[in-house]
């Protein structure tokens, strides 16, 4: 969130949010506008890597909420913030070790009658990002003392079919 704050210093609030918005949540946060609220929406898949770590795919959302201001209507303000996020997020790692570039960035207008009655414009910028969790078996640079390789698939496991390349 520091990078969003640095990119958009005019925002009154950049903060985490526990999930999707409902009308009560919208009323609660509508006191500090314009705002971006970032939420972890889910982890659709986790798979094991060759290193022994797990790669968790995260679905994230940045909810943009704006109200009318004297010289800037709420819809224009929301689009300006969305555009900035669409430039900032792709490829972003947020300074977190083990994080892989953000990808699949898209934006959706969350207009509804209820949102309009609250006097705000609301958009969601969503993306996927992976993070590696767990222990890397190669962490610390430990390499096997001896390495053998073979391209002879018919003699897989046969000691005589392998060549020593390290050790």
Using an 8 Å Cβ cutoff, are 130 and 103 in contact?
A: no
- Element (DSSP H or E) covering residue 130: strand 120-133
Measured distance CA(141)–CA(157) in Å, rounded = 27
Q: How confident is the model at residue 166 (pLDDT cuts 50, 70, 90)?
A: low
Residue of higher predicted confidence among 110 and 26: 110
Are 148 and 164 spatial neighbours (Cβ–Cβ below 8 Å)? yes
Query: Is there a domain that residue 151 lies in?
Result: no
Gap between the Cα atoms of 116 and 136, Å rounded: 49
Considering only residues 64 and 158, tell me which one the structure prediction assigns the higher pLDDT.
Answer: 64
From the list 79, 42, 35, the residue with the least C-alpha distance to 61 is 42
Number of compact structural domains in the chain: 1
Query: Has residue 146 got a pLDDT over 80?
Result: no
In contact, 61 and 124? CB cutoff 8 Å: yes
Q: Of residues 166 and 92, which shows the higher confidence score?
A: 92
Within a domain: residue 112?
Answer: yes
- At residue 84, the pLDDT reads 98
Q: Is position 149 within any domain?
A: no
Residue 14 lies in a domain: yes
Q: Is the pLDDT of residue 145 over 80?
A: no
| Structure confidence by residue, pLDDT tens digits, 44-101 | 999 999 888 999 999 999 999 999 988 899 999 999 999 999 999 999 999 999 999 9
Q: Give me the mean pLDDT over the 23-47 stretch.
A: 90
Q: Assign residue 75 the CATH number of its domain.
A: 3.30.2000.10
For 26, the domain range is 2-139
Q: Is residue 55 part of a domain?
A: yes
User: What is the structure's pLDDT at 95?
Assistant: 93
CB-based contacts of 148, cutoff 8 Å, min separation 6: 162, 163, 164, 165
Q: Is there a domain that residue 135 lies in?
A: yes
| Rounded CA separation 14/94 (Å) | 14
What pLDDT is stored for residue 10 in this prediction?
A: 94
Whether 147 maps to a domain, the answer reads no
Q: What is the pLDDT of residue 3?
A: 95
Task: Band the pLDDT of 142: cuts 50, 70, 90.
Answer: low
Percentage of the chain lying above the pLDDT 90 cut: 64
**Rounded average pLDDT over 149-159:** 82
Is residue 80 included in any domain, yes or no? yes
């Amino acid at each position: 969130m520091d990078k969003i704050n640095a990119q958009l210093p005019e925002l009154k609030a950049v903060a985490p949010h526990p999930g999707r918005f409902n009308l009560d949540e919208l009323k609660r946060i509508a006191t500090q506008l314009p705002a971006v609220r970032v939420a972890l929406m889910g982890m659709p898949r986790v798979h094991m890597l060759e290193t022994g770590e797990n790669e968790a795919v995260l679905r994230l959302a940045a909810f943009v909420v704006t109200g009318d201001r004297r010289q800037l209507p709420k819809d224009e303000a929301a689009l300006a913030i969305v555009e900035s996020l669409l430039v900032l997020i792709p490829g972003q790692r947020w300074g977190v070790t083990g994080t892989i570039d953000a990808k699949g960035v898209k934006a959706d207008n969350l207009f509804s009658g209820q949102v309009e009655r609250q006097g705000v414009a609301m958009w969601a910028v969503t993306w996927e990002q992976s993070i590696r969790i767990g222990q890397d078996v190669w962490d610390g640079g430990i390499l096997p003392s001896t390495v053998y390789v073979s391209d002879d698939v018919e003699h897989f496991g046969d000691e005589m079919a392998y060549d020593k390349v390290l050790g």
